[in-house]
Amino acid sequence: MRSGRVQADKVLIIHTGGTIGMLPTEQGLAPAAGFEQLLRQRLAERLDTLPAFDLIELEPLIDSAELSPSQWSSIAAPIIDRYEDYAGFIILHGTDTLAYTASALSFMLQGLTKPVILTGSQIPLAEHRSDADSNLLGALELAARPEISEVCIYFNGRLLRGNRSVKVDASALAAFDSPNLARLGEVGIEVSLRSDLMLAPGMPAFSSPDFDPAAVAVLRIFPGISATLLQAVLSQPGLRGVILQSYGVGNAPTSDAALMETLESAIARGVTIVNLTQCSRGAVASDTYATGAALSRIGVISGADLTLEAAFAKLHWLLAQNLSAEDVAAKLRQSLCGEQLAS
């Protein structure tokens, strides 16, 4: 981290791309440079009442549907490099993979002492009726609040823990929510924050590893799934971890001997498999039913109440630390930065 003096209430905005800064092209909406000029024009009448901010743009800008885990470190880099220079940080990001990036940053930026707020919009800032204005105004206010010391998503008046958030609606302005944790705050006529839910400031322990996009895959259980299909995924070069999305509280067709043998064989050769519920709320409780308990017996690890996005990012981050399989399994059962109930 670069040493410097914090500019009182000054916020750094990191524009990564996404709908918020897109402009129409012949092929449809696409990322476009020059967002800062448009932003300052839209906020011109309010700049005197808002926290001061600097803005930088990633090069190239990213359509979030094209995001790869290998790009997470480039998003974190400006925060790590300039952490001592600003009171808080805002990341403008496309909504499709915003919750994945928020989750990844929560593991990369552990021990925060100031806010990191991710936001974006469903409608570009340049268009009428855009939700970008209200999301940006709320994010600016929250990013200067010293009582927030974690990675959050702010969208449509809701402040959410980043690694507990999911995109819940493809087109509504209330695009994000936190199914297994209450919202950290609401911005309406007043700003209401849940200090009892927020993470306490810590000792910054930042990391920016090289993420291998091939390291983690997601497998969803469905009626009739075959061992052949599982084997096709589990034998992919470079694969080291799998998120297994099972039914209900962690159930799968464990009476299928070939399927179970395929999973057990992958675990034996060092692939970490995390059991996650397909349900939008709730948690894996592997011992409730025999089918879930059978997965535990062969070494599948309970993902508790992790979201898919948080489980994916956490497993990627742990594997990038070059830990032993035992250490990865142990940390998957712990809450490292408020992402889950301990399992």
Name the residue ranges covered by the structural domains of the chain.
7-206, 213-332
Class of domain 213-332: alpha beta
Q: Does residue 49 carry a catalytic annotation?
A: no
State the pLDDT confidence band at 45, using cuts at 50, 70 and 90. confident
Residue 326 to residues 27, 62, 80, 268, 333: CA-CA distances in angstroms? Answer: 48, 36, 29, 12, 11
pLDDT at 341: 86
What share of the chain in percent tops pLDDT 90?
Answer: 85
pLDDT at 9: 79
The average pLDDT across 275-297 equals: 89
Q: Does residue 307 carry a catalytic annotation?
A: no
The average pLDDT across 125-148 equals: 95
Per the prediction, the chain carries an average pLDDT of 94
Lowest average pLDDT, out of 97-101, 188-192, 305-309, goes to 188-192
- Which residue of the set 19, 254, 262, 307 is catalytic? 19
CA dist., res. 202 & res. 11, Å (int): 20
State the pLDDT confidence band at 29, using cuts at 50, 70 and 90. confident
CB under 8 Å to 335, separation ≥6 — which residues? 341, 342
Lowest average pLDDT, out of 56-70, 221-235, 285-299, goes to 285-299
Q: Where on the phi/psi map is residue 19: left (φ > 0), alpha (ψ -120 to 50), or beta?
A: alpha
User: Using one digit for the tens of pLDDT, what is the confidence trace for 55-113?
Assistant: 999 999 999 999 999 999 999 999 999 999 999 999 999 999 999 999 999 999 999 99
State the pLDDT confidence band at 5, using cuts at 50, 70 and 90. very low
Contact 204, 174 (CB under 8 A): no
Strand 7-17: give its sheet, edge to edge.
53-62, 7-17, 86-92, 116-119, 151-155, 158-161, 185-187, 191-193
Would you say 96 is a known binding-site residue? Answer: yes
- Chain-centroid distance of CA 26 in Å reads 31
The average pLDDT across 280-294 equals: 86
Class of domain 7-206: alpha beta
pLDDT at 47: 87
- Which residue of the set 16, 95, 101, 272 is catalytic? 95
Q: pTM for the full model?
A: 0.95
What share of the chain in percent tops pLDDT 70?
Answer: 97
State the pLDDT confidence band at 343, using cuts at 50, 70 and 90. low
Domains 7-206 and 213-332 share a fold: yes
Would you say 95 is a known binding-site residue? Answer: yes
CA dist., res. 341 & res. 333, Å (int): 9
Would you say 305 is a known binding-site residue? Answer: no
pLDDT at 286: 76
pLDDT of 46 strictly over 90? no
Lowest average pLDDT, out of 23-27, 99-103, 250-254, goes to 23-27
CA dist., res. 105 & res. 302, Å (int): 22
Contact 65, 97 (CB under 8 A): yes
